[in-house]
Chains A and B, each alone.
Chain A
Amino acid sequence: MRAFVTAVFAFLYLPIALVVLFSFNAGRHASEFTGFSVQWYGTALSNPFLVEALKNSLFIATTSALLAAVCGTAAALGLARVGLRTRAVFDALMGAAIVVPGVVIGISTLVALVQLFGVLNPFLASVWPDGQPPRLSLGYGSIIAAHGLFSMALVTMIVGTRLASLDRNLVEASSDLYATPLTTFRSIVLPQIMPAVVAGFLLAFTFSFDDFIVAFFVAGAQTTLPIYVFASIRRGVTPEINAIATIVLVASVLLVVLAQWQLRQRKPAN
């Protein structure tokens, strides 16, 4: 049993460890370790295509995570007030959004967007007063929308859990002390759920930053970091790829740990 568990973990983590190890390889082949060096990090960061992809990824991840944090929190607040039955339906739908494979989300989002653009673009062209009407197409917007939608379910669940453990008496006490509903939200509810909102944002960011599958379907002409890595691998795995992978790995782990830490912070009283 112990050997089995060891084997499973070795199978999981050894490749990752190798990637990290070979990112510090002095030689240019991924198969033999010829000495320690950080040169490939330099190479990677001086590659203009790669830096462009990294910038894209950071922009998309930040925007979609912000979108998800705001909309997801709003959704969680709304869901806290609906009836049990409606609540169960929405919980199931959100759970489904999280377990549906990326391929399905990617392809269905692509089909939906293309159909939508097919209707919207002629419509825009017909109602546009003069000059060139804007043409909606795949790109930043579609990746942000797809990632934001998925992450929103994530944030809604995390914030919803926190809201459920929020003492309803606090809201009533605030209301009893002459605070309008808006003030109560600002000074009591928001500070109490803030750790969950931040954690949700961080997880949404990580998801978007790491995502290849969904982005690959809806990216259009844009390149995100995972798409760039995938494209480069066709030309062989170089230590440069390993260096990028290591950067992404460290950043992701840091963010997830930060999110967990946020969730543990300031648990509501009782």
Chain B
Amino acid sequence: MTAVPDIEFRGVTKRYGAVTAVTAIDLAIPPSAFVALLGPSGCGKTTCLRMIGGFEQSSEGQVFIRGQDMAGTPPYRRPVNMVFQQYALFPHLDVEANVSYGLRQARPRLSSQEIGRRAGEALEMVRLAGYGGRKIHELSGGQQQRVALARALVNKPAVLLLDEPLAALDKKLRTDMQIELQNLQREIGITFVLVTHDQEEALSMSDLVCVMNGGRIVQLGQPSEIYDEPADLFVADFVGKTNLLSGKVAGHTGDLVNVALADGTVIAARKRIALQQGEAVSVSLRPESLSLGATEGSPFKGIVRNRIFLGSTAEYAIEIQGIGTLLAKADHVIGHGNLFKPGEPVAIGFASGTPLAFPEIKNNGTNQRVAKNVEIIS
């Protein structure tokens, strides 16, 4: 990429006393991208965002904004603006004064007409025209969210930082705001950096997802890449739903690895890194990659335990002797009546894609964190 990245981390490490929050991060965010920093709480994603904003200084390494080293530059001299998690609107100022706050700091001073016009435009952009005189506490959560957006965007920053911006909204509003944010980003064309622990949010909104765990970047890629080709067991488990089956490497067939599961079934799986004969592995099977009711070449037979009907799809928890419970997802065709009932025996095959095998998580420092996080998520 020849263009100067909007944001660049070079070997950035952040320590708080004895605790290392972020370790040796290298990351370049291209211009006009919508990037999500995704990870469980404590993974270092917020620390990264705060280092871009200037609220934290890196212990090692450099943070660049549009090619400029930001070391020692305070937040008020950085060309970025942030939407805070709880919005942090100024309660003693009205909507208009909140939105124009940044413009009023400009030196040389802007004329009051100019400030008023731009604040009005910003409010219009977030569909709050005419709300300028309202008090902050008179607004709903969704409206406050939009004021926070207008207050940041009115300054035309190089990069907009969003710290879990949708966490405080209810589900319906969250979906609306996801679309609105996406549209805004395309309209304005500046880089958005979003921090979230919600994998759905990250996948649905951004062009680029940066999955973090234990203070490191685990994977950087487009949402579909992250979902289809997870870099390791943590990503496979954290992003989307998956079934993880333990087994041992029984052999190799070409690029594929044959994994013997607990009950002796051998399945072929793809791999990300070389696996040794006899090595303990986990095989990831996405629920939608399983097909139910197939009779030919079905590796598993089980009994439906639960059915979760979701309208367009149905999810089944299927118990398989010697292996455990698998989650499977099947499309629902209207009027077809193709639903399995709890208690019904069913054969399970692979509908699409090949399972992925990962080395089993080892019991050392960082990986223990992974294991712990996996527990929290599941």
Contact = CB atoms under 8 A, between A and B. Distances in A.
A191 interface: yes
Contact of B92 (A172, A183, A191): A191
Given A191-B92, A192-B92, A180 B76 contact: yes
B105 A176 contact: no
Interface stretch (B80-88, B251-259, B274-282, B320-328): B80-88
B106 A176 contact: no
B75 A172 contact: yes
Interface stretch (A34-42, A60-68, A262-270): A262-270
Given A188-B90, A192-B92, A177 B84 contact: no
Nearest to B79: A178
Contacts of A172: 53, 55, 75, 82, 84, 88
B88 A167 contact: yes
Interface string B100-118: 0110011000000000000
A180 B54 CA distance: 13
A192 B101 CA distance: 16
A179 B77 CA distance: 9
Given A172-B75, A183-B105, A269-B137, A177 B155 contact: yes
B91 interface: yes
Interface in A182-215: 183, 187-188, 191-192
Contact of A173 (B54, B90, B105): B90
Given A167-B88, A170-B88, A269-B91, A178 B106 contact: yes
Contacts of B137: 269
B45 interface: no
Interface string A242-270: 00000000000000000000000010111
B84 A169 contact: yes
Contact of A175 (B76, B89, B136): B76
A177 B88 contact: no
A177 B92 contact: no
B198 to A, nearest CB: 20
B50 to A, nearest CB: 9
A169 B87 CA distance: 8
A188 B77 CA distance: 18
Contacts of B343: none
Given A269-B137, A270-B86, A176 B92 contact: no
A178 B92 contact: no
A238 interface: no
A179 B17 CA distance: 29
A174 interface: yes
Contact of A176 (B76, B86, B90, B91): B76
Contacts of A175: 54-55, 74-76
B84 A173 contact: yes
Nearest to A267: B91
Contacts of B53: 172, 176
Contact of B101 (A177, A191, A268): A177
B151 interface: yes
A160 to B, nearest CB: 20
B92 A266 contact: yes
Contacts of B155: 177-178
B52 to A, nearest CB: 11
Contacts of A270: 86
A177 B81 contact: yes
A268 B89 CA distance: 11
Interface in B62-76: 74-76
Contacts of B152: 176-177
Interface in A131-176: 167, 169-170, 172-176
A239 to B, nearest CB: 48
A177 B105 contact: yes
B136 A176 contact: no
Nearest to A184: B76
A191 B74 CA distance: 23
Contacts of B80: 176
B39 to A, nearest CB: 21
Interface string B204-245: 000000000000000000000000000000000000000000
Contacts of B91: 192, 266, 268-269
16 contacts: A169-B84, A172-B82, A173-B84, A174-B101, A175-B55, A176-B53, A176-B76, A177-B81, A177-B102, A177-B151, A178-B76, A178-B77, A178-B105, A180-B76, A269-B91, A269-B136
Interface of B: 53-55, 74-77, 80-82, 84-86, 88-92, 101-102, 105-106, 136-137, 151-152, 155
Q: Closest 5 interchain pairs by CB?
A: A169-B88, A177-B102, A178-B105, A173-B88, A269-B91
Given A176-B55, A269-B91, 11 more contacts: A172-B82, A173-B90, A175-B76, A176-B54, A176-B76, A177-B81, A177-B155, A179-B76, A180-B76, A266-B92, A270-B86
